[in-house]
Structure 1
Amino acid sequence: MILGRIRSALADVTQPDPALDVPIEWEYGRPSGTADVLGTFVEMVVDYQAVVKRVPASEVAATIATLLTEYDVASVVVPAGLDPAWRSAITAAGVELRADDPPLSHQQLNRIGGVVTASAVGIAETGTIVLDHREDQGRRALSLVPDLHVCVVRADQVVSDVPEAVGRLAGSVTEGHPLTWISGGSATSDIELSRVEGVHGPRTLLVVLAE
């Protein structure tokens, strides 16, 4: 009966493609026109209880080392393709550098203090960071198990909204890369609104915005 009603309602529809049947003046993936994309991104990320450091690209390595020292991180795991200068700065700060080759077990990752990765896209409107897990980001477990995540986002990776981000990520999807969408440190609330952090990933997110 339900399908019959649907067929009756569509009897006068001659164009099977809904996008053509009801045209909308909208170009998917077009920037939304956010006046201050970087400023909005920072504001939204901070609103998620994350820490953001805006620095020149030349100061990224030193900033990573400073953050790890400030948060008393004794060891970090890094993906294979991480910038060598960042690796050197981490080692110089006295932080133990762990490689994921061969892949570390979840138990081993759980004993490591943090992880340092690059990123694929930042979204201003939602304060979201997307990883597509290329060589400078590593496999998903690296960014989900350790308790602290230092994530570097380049200014040219920050887009206005989700549709623009999806357009940027089309190549990653086509190539079969998994996507991890991060909006602040991991947190959840129960029915009594008691906030619990670190349930589904790192409880502390530190973002270095390289300009």
Structure 2
Amino acid sequence: MQARPRLALTGTIVALAALTLAGCTASPSGDASDAPSGSPKPTATGQATDAATDDAAGAEPSNCLVGDWVLSDDQMQRYYDQVNVDLAEYAIVYDPTGSAGLSFAEDGTYAYTPALTLAVDIAGLPAEATLGGTLSGQYAVDGETLRTSNDTNALSMDVTVDGVAMDGTPVTEQILASPITSAPYDCSGATPVIHFSTGASTVPLTLARG
């Protein structure tokens, strides 16, 4: 007689897992369709006076985001610690393991490649979600804001709820339509910091070199 309530709860867990996974790549506000479609705006750089130094250093990137980066395990933990605070009233707790790659190219394209497992406890019912695949598209920077557009979603999510495996990809496809529609970022430190949204809050996450 408990099968129906568990099935209903299963759907809730899948949706919540996908929603919070989406939050880790979503922005506080904005619409991806408003994002500039071209390459990132270049910033002025000084011209080296020593040709040998020039050759060794190579070309300057157009902005500090260009490169291959990693959202490490500790940054994922920081993000989901805030998610847990935001969902405290629902008795939902996420425990992440893994990291995610995030690359920005000079031509204005980006790719997000998560390798993340979430242990989930929702009011005592155990679940696990595994996110993989690639999310890619175009990006542009506007002042201190990072925007993306024209996203291609090739992410997949497998979910196990109370020992029963199920495919969370359809939910992921619905929610992860646009990863970083409009997110503040900061380049004042050694590596970039991007402010990711949990829906209710924003969390500054520091990128590590990939």
TM-score range, shorter chain: under 0.3
With the length of structure 1 as denominator, give the TM-score of the two structures.
0.26
Looking at secondary structure, tell me which structure has more helix per residue.
1
- The structure with the largest alpha-carbon Rg is 1
With the length of structure 2 as denominator, give the TM-score of the two structures.
0.26
Looking at secondary structure, tell me which structure has more strand per residue.
2
